[in-house]
């Protein structure tokens, strides 16, 4: 049965059929995801407007960023998302232990992302890069740190799902929790896929 309780009518929702589109995960998480995307979107727009007035400064400071670290992190997050997809597919086939293993792999990738990012920050702080050192640095640190915090939150959710999977909580009839968390994780990934080219690459 559908679990979009946020909008469920008082009448029992009809049994899920293969016909027609279906929203994966709980409706509530989609409100939350849209709000998150709006926050990042506003931040990106502010970046674009500020850059338009300081193109040379932005290009010069952008060139000093470690693009390899950024690319490595992109691969880590994309891989984590792939693992989360495999976890959801495993749960649909009642393979709880396999689901848990895929989730653990995704958590490891997330951890890898955080490690790379921390090395990047350490290098930046060594070069006296701070929120006040330039407009580009302000955006670089704010955007990546705001995203960093989202990776941490995403990993907390993945750990909760990992616990659920090990307890055998998910299956074909009960995918809501897993899909809800997976949707959030994909959002974290998606934001990075815009953030990385925008801040590290495009000039």
Partner 1 sequence: MQYKSQAVAMPYFIAAIGLFVGQIIFGLIMGLQYVVGDFLFPEIPFNVARMVHTNLLIVWLLFGFMGAAYYMVPEEAETELYSPKLALVLFWVFLVAGAATILGYLLVPYATLAEMTGNDILATMGREFLEQPLLTKIGIVVVALAFLFNITMTTLKGRKTAISMVLLLGLWGLAIFFLFSFYNPTNLVRDKFYWWWVVHLWVEGVWELILGALLAFVLIKVTGVDREVIEKWLYVIITLALVTGIIGTGHHYYWIGTPEYWQWWGSIFSALEPLPFFAMTVFAFNMVNRRRREHPNKAAVLWALGTGVMAFLGAGVWGFLHTLAPVNYYTHGSQITAAHGHMAFYGAYVMVVLTIISYAMPIMRGRAANSNKAQVLEMWSFWLMTIAMVFITLFLTAAGILQVWLQRVSDTPMSFMMTQDQVSLFYWMREWAGVMFFVGLLVYVASFFVKGETQPAKA
What is the smallest separation between the CB atom of 68 and partner 1, expressed in angstroms?
27
What is the smallest separation between the CB atom of 31 and partner 1, expressed in angstroms?
5
Give the whole-angstrom CA distance, residue 71 versus residue 76: 9
CA 40 to chain centre: 12
β-bridge mates for residue 171, sequence order: 174
CA 98 to chain centre: 22
User: Judged by CB, which is closer to partner 1: 9, or 18?
Assistant: 9
Stretch that binds partner 1, among 42-50, 86-94, 108-116, 194-202 (CB under 8 A): 42-50
Residue 184 near residue 154, CB atoms below 8 Å: yes
- One-character DSSP codes across 109-166: HHHHHHHHHHHHHHHHHHTT--TTT-HHHHHHHHHHHHHHHHHHHHHHHHHHHHHHHH
SS3 of residue 174 by DSSP: strand
Of the candidate residues 23, 46, 75, 123, the single one contacting partner 1 (CB under 8 A)? 46
Stretch that binds partner 1, among 7-15, 59-67, 109-117, 190-198 (CB under 8 A): 7-15
Residue 26 within binding range of partner 1, rule CB under 8 A? yes
The contact mask relative to partner 1 for 141-180 (x = CB under 8 A, - = no) is -x--------------------------------------
Q: Which residues form the interface with partner 1 (CB under 8 A)?
A: 5-6, 8-10, 26, 28, 31-32, 35-36, 38-39, 42-43, 46, 131-132, 138-139, 142
């Amino acid at each position: 049965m559908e679990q979009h309780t946020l909008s469920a009518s008082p009448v029992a929702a009809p049994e899920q059929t293969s016909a027609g589109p279906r929203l994966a995960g709980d409706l509530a998480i989609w409100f939350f995801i849209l709000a998150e995307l709006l926050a990042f979107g506003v931040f990106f727009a502010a970046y674009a407007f500020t850059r338009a007035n300081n193109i040379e400064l932005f290009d010069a400071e952008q060139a000093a960023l470690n693009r390899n670290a950024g690319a490595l992190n992109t691969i880590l997050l994309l891989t984590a998302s792939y693992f989360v997809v495999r976890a959801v597919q495993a749960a649909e086939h009642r393979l709880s232990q396999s689901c848990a293993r895929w989730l653990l792999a995704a958590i490891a990738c997330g951890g890898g992302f955080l490690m790379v990012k921390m090395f990047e920050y350490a290098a930046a702080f060594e070069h006296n890069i701070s929120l006040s050192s330039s407009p580009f640095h302000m955006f670089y640190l704010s955007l990546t740190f705001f995203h960093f915090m989202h990776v941490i939150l995403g990993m907390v959710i993945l750990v909760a799902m990992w616990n659920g999977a090990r307890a055998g909580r998910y299956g074909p009839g009960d995918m809501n929790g897993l899909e809800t968390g997976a949707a959030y994780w994909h959002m974290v990934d998606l934001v990075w896929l815009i953030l990385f080219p925008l801040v590290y690459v495009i000039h």
